[in-house]
Amino acid sequence: MRRMLLQRLGFVLLGLVTLVVVVPILLVVGVIVARGISAINWQFLSTMPYNGMKQGGILPAIIGTLLLTLGTALVAVPIGVGGAVYLSEYARDTRLTRAIRLAIVNLAGIPSIVYGLFGLGMFVLFFRFGTSILAGSLTLAIMTLPVIISTSEEALRAVPTEFRTVSASLGGTRWQGIRTIVLPQALPGIITGVILGLLRAAGETAPILFTVAAFYLPRLPRSPLDQSMALPYHLYVISTQVPGMPLSVQYGTALVLLGLVLSLNIVASLIRRYFRSKRQW
């Protein structure tokens, strides 16, 4: 009897803890939707800002964020997945590879503003890319790499060793085994890691602060070496730097950013579910 009571108490406590986690999320989303939805209309999403950003839309910021995410993906996905394949499939357990792994874990813990300053020094100044989409994408890519590498490596290691052995026993080279069996099996996990990393990149402000973001640039970027507005930075600017900004525009911008991130998240889980259903073990 006592044990049953204790168990029930345990369940109630765990339930409360779960609630504590969920409530803030619901509140954040709820408040932003409630206050921002009135600002959302086609014009808001598809036109340039004018009158000191107090009027018009946020199109350049949306496009800028999409371009930055795309650029980040182009750089970070091949390097990150390639690095993960190397670490999980080829690298032997030496002092060097252990040092590399340690470095990756530590990179994931570096504050994003430090990446921003690094990007400024490395890409903007040293490589003379200027404040540009290229410099911003590279900076975001470097910030995203640790996430992509460690989740991809995890996914690759989860594929049973036996598959590799069987492939080798049938005359497959190591790469043939990876290409035909290991990578396809690890794909759902890799995609999840990639998208989580990219979502973080899409929402970051600090790394783009000095490397790409334009305060007020009411036109679309013309080349990778052009500056651009971006949603997180734009949100920061209109919330703190522009006096007399209508509240609905601020919440509307937040809602667009949130919607973008959430919809990418949903796409990610759909892709994951699709590949899971095709997997047979």
Contacts with other proteins by CB under 8 A lie at 92-93, 162-173, 176, 180-181, 184-185, 279-281
- Cβ atoms of 73 and 190 closer than 8 Å: no
Nearer to other proteins, 93 or 243 (CB): 93
CA distances from 149 to 128, 141, 156 (A): 28, 12, 10
- Among candidate residues 158, 151, 157, the one with its CA nearest the CA of residue 104: 151
Nearer to other proteins, 130 or 172 (CB): 172
- Cβ atoms of 148 and 179 closer than 8 Å: no
- Taking the complex as a whole, the smallest distance from the CB of residue 167 to other proteins amounts, in Å, to 7
Query: Residue 228: phi, psi to the nearest 5?
Result: -155, 155
Nearer to other proteins, 93 or 222 (CB): 93
- Taking the complex as a whole, the smallest distance from the CB of residue 137 to other proteins amounts, in Å, to 35
Nearer to other proteins, 89 or 204 (CB): 89
Q: Return d(Cα 18, Cα 258) in angstroms, integer.
A: 22
- Taking the complex as a whole, the smallest distance from the CB of residue 168 to other proteins amounts, in Å, to 6
- Taking the complex as a whole, the smallest distance from the CB of residue 265 to other proteins amounts, in Å, to 27
Nearer to other proteins, 167 or 211 (CB): 167
Q: Return d(Cα 92, Cα 80) in angstroms, integer.
A: 18
Q: Return d(Cα 178, Cα 172) in angstroms, integer.
A: 10
* Side-chain half-sphere CA neighbours of 15 within 13 A: 6
- Taking the complex as a whole, the smallest distance from the CB of residue 171 to other proteins amounts, in Å, to 4
- Taking the complex as a whole, the smallest distance from the CB of residue 165 to other proteins amounts, in Å, to 6
Nearer to other proteins, 25 or 170 (CB): 170
Q: Return d(Cα 126, Cα 131) in angstroms, integer.
A: 12
